[in-house]
Amino acid sequence: MPTGVALRDVRRQLFEAADRILLRDGPSGLTSRAVTTEAGCAKGVLHRHFDDFDAFLADYVLDRVEQLAPEAVALREAAGTGTVAGNLATALTAVFESVAVAIVALITFRDGLRARLRRTWPAGVPVLTEAAQMIAGYLAAERELGRVPAGAEVEVLAAMLIGTGHLLFADRTGERPGPEQVHRMVASVLSQASSSY
């Protein structure tokens, strides 16, 4: 595409191109040339909007973290409805069927990206820590409603669910877990936690 052709919402186009490449080719396939080719624009477009490729990747990761906000609101609003395990299974599936698992691999793969993210995100992996906060907030709301035991340490439960969910969805066979498998995992984590009180 000629450099003179105007692009609407360049960031969105580049980020969506990065999603497709990351899901299809993994972190090693995510290069500036691959992103601009996938987005259908000249390579210079990326560098006109970002200082360098790690700056692009950092903004991309943080943008994907922000996309969890509607999920967090929906999960919080689900408190008191359905089942706790069912609500959590739905939320975890939405998180891990997004680009989240691939972003974890990307952050692990690129030292420069990790260093840049540490400037604004001092601890943890951005997508996973945001998801853990979302789950903890929901569990706290359910604890107030009496649907989670009063002594439940919601931050610990959230971390257990995110960690176990990540392992479940990051299975290298390429097969995604079915809804029953996710629900079983969530119910198991919740029952183990409840039995320890």
pLDDT for residue 154 is more than 80: yes
Tell me which architecture the domain covering 1-49 has in CATH.
Orthogonal Bundle (1.10)
- The predicted model gives 171-180 an average pLDDT of 75
Report the predicted TM-score, pTM, of the whole model to 2 decimal places: 0.79
Give pLDDT, residue 195.
Answer: 55
Give pLDDT, residue 172.
Answer: 57
Q: How confident is the model at residue 8 (pLDDT cuts 50, 70, 90)?
A: low
Q: Quickly list H helices, the chain.
A: 10-25, 32-39, 43-49, 53-66, 69-77, 84-96, 100-109, 111-120, 126-144, 154-169, 179-195
For residue range 22-34, what is the model confidence (pLDDT) as tens digits? 988 988 999 999 9
For residue range 79-98, what is the model confidence (pLDDT) as tens digits? 999 999 999 999 999 888 77
Q: How confident is the model at residue 138 (pLDDT cuts 50, 70, 90)?
A: very high
Q: How confident is the model at residue 3 (pLDDT cuts 50, 70, 90)?
A: very low
Question: Among residues of the chain, what percentage have pLDDT more than 90?
Answer: 41
Q: Which of 6-20, 95-109, 110-124, 142-156 has the lowest mean pLDDT?
A: 110-124
- In the chain, residues under CATH classification 1.10.10.60 are 1-49
Q: How confident is the model at residue 196 (pLDDT cuts 50, 70, 90)?
A: very low
Contacts of 129 (CB under 8 A, 6+ apart): 121, 123
Question: Are the C-beta atoms of 75 and 91 separated by less than 8 Å?
Answer: yes
Which class is domain 66-195?
Answer: mainly alpha
Q: Which of 68-82, 104-118, 179-193 has the lowest mean pLDDT?
A: 104-118
- In the chain, residues under CATH classification 1.10.357 are 66-195
pLDDT for residue 178 is more than 70: yes
Q: How confident is the model at residue 2 (pLDDT cuts 50, 70, 90)?
A: very low
Give pLDDT, residue 135.
Answer: 95
